[in-house]
Amino acid sequence: MEIIYHYLIKNDIRSALRYYDSEGGVKLGDRFFDEIEATVTQITKNPNRYHFSDDYLRRAQLKKFPYHILFEATEDTIWVGVIRHDKRHPSYGLKRKWK
């Protein structure tokens, strides 16, 4: 299955990594990044297990950090559009071009 990331995902991750690296050192930032990778792996294994956040985007919650991933799944592609903090406004990232 192909995974496509929106180009602004880098900004989403960098922002969180800056915070976690400053608060808990490099190891906390590494754990955050590892959890993102693990969640994306789980998404690719079974994207339909995640509920819809709105009409067409599914939401995968990270387990140990207050972030979630919004994505769209087709038969052969996972399109990851936003990695968003749980306290962000629900419309954050939804105006990104989805494909």
The mean pLDDT value for 45-68 works out to 94
**Predicted pLDDT of residue 19:** 92
Domains of the chain: 2-85 (3.30.2310.20)
Q: What is the pLDDT of residues 6-18, one digit of tens each?
A: 999 999 999 999 9
Alpha-helical segments (H) within the chain: 9-45
Nearest 5°: the CA angle 25, 29, 30 is: 110
User: What does the radius of gyration of the chain's CA atoms come to, in whole angstroms?
Assistant: 13
Lowest average pLDDT, out of 7-16, 19-28, 80-89, goes to 19-28
Sign, Cα dihedral of 82, 88, 94, 96:
negative
pLDDT at 96: 84
| Claim: this prediction has a pTM higher than 0.75 | yes
